[in-house]
Every structure is written in C-alpha cells, then in structure tokens.
Chain A
C-alpha cells in the first residue's frame, strides 16, 4: 500500500510535480503514463526515496519515506531509467552485492539469485562482465536486482526501453507474473505497453495527475463526448434548424463542404444516448438524405492525447470547478482546441511512437473518408 499526499517537486522555477495525491493498493499492476517530462520519473524517484520532495509525504506500507526511510525502502525494489549496474563487476558479483545490501539472509542468497536470474533470462550470464553486456541485458540485470529479495512493491521506470520486440514480450510476461504476488508500478510513454500490462493506468501530464482508471474506464470516460459525424444533403440553415430541436444533441458544428448542397456536421451527444435512429428518421422526414453517418469510437490513444494536452488540463480543472457544465460555446471551443492540440501532439510523438502514430493517422483517415 502506497500513500502519496500532496507531492510537489520544484526545480528552480519549474514545477515538476504539482500537488499529486494518490493511493495504490496491493497486488495490482499500475502504469504511469505521460509524455516526456511529465513527471513520471520524478514521482518514482521520490517514491523510492532517491530525491526528497519539496512538499508532501510518501508512505510505503505505513512507513514514512522521510522518517523511516530504511523500513520503507526495504519494501521497494527499484529499477531506474538507466539500470544502475557497475560495469567493472560480473553479473553474479553485482547480484551478490545487491543481495548483501538488501540484507537477504546468507543461506537464501544463492537460491534467490538463481531464481531471479532464471526469471530475467540471464542465468548463463553470471560470469560475464557487465561492461560487455548489451543494453537489453543490462536492463535485465537491473531488473533482476529490483526483484531480488522479493519486495512487496516493485517500481520500474520505463522497463522496456532499449529492448528488442522479443525481449519486450518476455519482460511484459515477467511483469504480469510479478503482478500476481507483488504491487508493480511501471512508467512508460508508450501507450500500448501500459494498456497491455497494467490493471490501472494513471495519466500524468505537466506534473499533475489528469486521469486514473482501468483502460476501459478511461475510454468510457472519454465516450461521454461521443462524436457523430454526418454528411447530409441539405443547406446548413435547414440542418441547423432541425438539429436545434434535438434535445439530446449537446452541441454541433457545421463544416462547409465543397459542394453547396452537402453539409457536414459533427455532433456531440452523451454516450448513453444513441440518437442515430432518431436522427435518421428526422432527416428522412425532412427530405434530407444522410449520405454518411459515423460514430467515432474513442480509443485510449485519443483519451491519452486529449488528457495530456494543455487545453485538456485546463478543461479538466474547469470541469472540476463548475461540475460538468457543458454549454454550447464551451463545447465548441473545446473541440477546436483539442483538434489543434491533436496535430501538435501527433508531431511530437512521431519520433518515439511509430506504431501508435499509424493508429492516429488511421483514425484521421477514417474520419476524412466520411
């Protein structure tokens, strides 16, 4: 059980963490998700007691990280972003050293080391100098060190960075296996990874926690703004008049098409109300044929992009303050904001995430075809 309260970290003028509060239960796999520089590593470094927070407290199984540091650290295994290994040691030497430092009783040391090396797939690497190992193997040695002593809580900062696809799958398997008995917290800027492994996801952006939940919950949360995209044969004026009569339509936005007779419209409704049928009959009665109708399914990717955008952070805060007041103008503004933002973020993420980039593009193409 980890309790984090009001955690704040200030580097000079830059606020890396801004009053973050959360609680993590035992026996689950948690994922910190956020773009680079969001504050994931800072949070983890503070949780493990590597750096002190400017403000706030961390309690690990009831032990305060500042006051009872030793007891608290005893419960944690940590793999930082860069695996902390000594290049002039062999793998076995390093793990022996780690076991000694973690105060594992002498009679258990050997068996535990063998188990851990087996689990991380470095069983036949014991005699090799860490200096001569590849990044992937160093990562595994760091991993082995973190799970040595089987601490309750295992914290992994970007555990799959620098691994090849096969290794990534292996490490994910390992994390899942560890998650059965331990609390595992991992961070990543790769969405699919978090989605694949974690029970619960926490999205961090600009030092704030903007969302938390299972991946289904997060998607569902986004689905409240279910989006319908329509192409209707008819003039904008006619369409506006008709749509204003629909109570369930929260907001809509007309897009001028190239063809004067054809109007495109984006509709926001709440996710529970499926108005597609009503819309169909209403437009049919008005002799305005629907040329295309598409319900845009939000993926976690979109949820992530939306949540980590600056506009979205403001939005979340505003919503918290004013309780979900979705006025017409307000909704409209948000739509345009997040559209702008989506482009920017796509661009930012291009170099890191080709896989997801494709997804996003795919989504846009779909939307464009309608």
Chain B
C-alpha cells in the first residue's frame, strides 16, 4: 500500500495536477478571505470556506475520476493487478494519496485563523475543531460545518468514484 501511496502522490506533483489543485483552492480561498474577513471584518473563517466549497464540485471529480481509468488506459493496471498485492491495497493507497493532496491546502488554510487572531478576538477552537474533524456532540457552529464539510464531501466523492471504477 505504501508503494502505491508514494507513487500516486509523486505522480500528482510530477504533473501540473497537484500544484494546480492546491494553487486554485488557495487562490479562491485567499480572495474570499480578503473580502469577508479582512475587508468586511467578520471573525468567522467559515464564510470564506463556504465560498470555496463550490470549487470542489469541479476539482474533486477532475482529480479522482481518472485515478483508475488512467491505469487502464496506460495498461499499467495489468502490472498492478498481477503484482502480489491486494486490490484493497491499491484502492486505499490511491485514496490516501488523494486525501493527502487535499490535506495540503486544508493545512495551509489552518494558518489563516492564526493571522486573524492577531487583530482581535477569534474563536480558534471553532475553526480548528472542524479542521481535525473532532465533533464531540457540541452544538455545531457555522464555521465547523463549512470547514468540516469540504472534507466530508471529498471523502464521499472519492469513495464513489473509486468504487465505480473498481466495478
């Protein structure tokens, strides 16, 4: 599984796909962050995130739908499927690689609340709670929903597309 994971992640950064995804996500988030949080002065990062989530509708399928189709096209699936590894290892390796790619912009977004907190009172817990997706029965705040949501959305999309191509 580790071999597949490393290879997948490397291939994202060998092509323009990985950097493009991270760049566009951060760029869009940056615009909304500037507009909402800096200009309008909202203390919630959630507004900017809710705007960015729309991008995932397009970027996530673009990333995930060729994850196995590409192997088939290059005939490299013959190599993977005849190698002494389990199919679940292939799928999980690919899934974790994609998750890692998503985690990079999410981690960078994690810096923003810190920047904001230099200018006033910010609920840091509210922001980070959603990033690490620890939801312990507390009433869910708006920021949490939006920060947690893109992750959930992508996870689901990954699974559906992976499951689809496995069939």
CB distance from A142 to the nearest CB of B (A): 8
Whether A101 and B85, one on each chain, are in contact in the complex, defined by CB atoms closer than 8 angstroms, is: yes
The docked-state distance in angstroms from the alpha carbon of A145 to that of B145 is: 47
Question: In the complex, what residue of chain A is closest to B2 when comparing beta carbons?
Answer: A100
Closest 6 CB pairs of A and B: A84-B79, A100-B3, A74-B84, A48-B82, A73-B84, A84-B76
**Any A CB within 8 A of the CB of B74:** yes
22 A-B residue pairings within 8 Å (CB atoms):
A48-B82, A50-B78, A50-B81, A70-B84, A70-B85, A70-B86, A73-B84, A80-B75, A83-B75, A84-B75, A84-B77, A84-B78, A85-B76, A86-B7, A87-B74, A88-B11, A97-B3, A100-B6, A101-B3, A101-B4, A101-B85, A103-B84
B76 neighbours in A (Cβ, 8 Å): 84-86
Given the known inter-chain contacts A82-B75, A84-B75, please indicate yes or no for A76 contacting B82, CB distance below 8 A: yes
**Any A CB within 8 A of the CB of B139:** no
The docked-state distance in angstroms from the alpha carbon of A49 to that of B81 is: 7
**Any B CB within 8 A of the CB of A332:** no
Total A-B pairs, Cβ < 8 A: 63
Contacting residues of chain A (168-186) with chain B, CB-CB under 8 angstroms: none
Q: Can you add 19 more A-B contacts, CB < 8 Å, to A84-B78, A87-B74? A: A48-B82, A70-B84, A73-B82, A74-B84, A76-B82, A78-B78, A83-B75, A84-B76, A86-B11, A88-B14, A89-B7, A89-B11, A93-B10, A97-B7, A98-B83, A100-B3, A101-B85, A102-B84, A103-B84
Determine chain B's interface SS by DSSP, over half rule.
helix
**Any A CB within 8 A of the CB of B15:** yes
B80 neighbours in A (Cβ, 8 Å): 101
The docked-state distance in angstroms from the alpha carbon of A80 to that of B7 is: 21
CB distance from B26 to the nearest CB of A (A): 24
Whether A101 and B83, one on each chain, are in contact in the complex, defined by CB atoms closer than 8 angstroms, is: yes
Q: Which residues of A approach B to under 8 Å, CB–CB?
A: 45, 48-50, 70-71, 73-74, 76, 78, 80, 82-89, 93, 97-98, 100-103, 145
A49 neighbours in B (Cβ, 8 Å): 81-82
CB distance from B94 to the nearest CB of A (A): 13
CB distance from B165 to the nearest CB of A (A): 16
The docked-state distance in angstroms from the alpha carbon of A104 to that of B77 is: 20
The docked-state distance in angstroms from the alpha carbon of A87 to that of B11 is: 10
Whether A50 and B11, one on each chain, are in contact in the complex, defined by CB atoms closer than 8 angstroms, is: no
The docked-state distance in angstroms from the alpha carbon of A356 to that of B4 is: 44
B79 neighbours in A (Cβ, 8 Å): 78, 80, 84, 98, 145
Per-residue contact bits, chain B 1-22, to A (CB 8 Å; 1 contact, 0 not): 0111011001100110000000
A98 neighbours in B (Cβ, 8 Å): 79, 83
Whether A102 and B83, one on each chain, are in contact in the complex, defined by CB atoms closer than 8 angstroms, is: yes
Partner of B15, one of A88, A101, A102: A88
Most buried by A among B76, B79, B85: B79
Question: In the complex, what residue of chain A is closest to B86 when comparing beta carbons?
Answer: A70
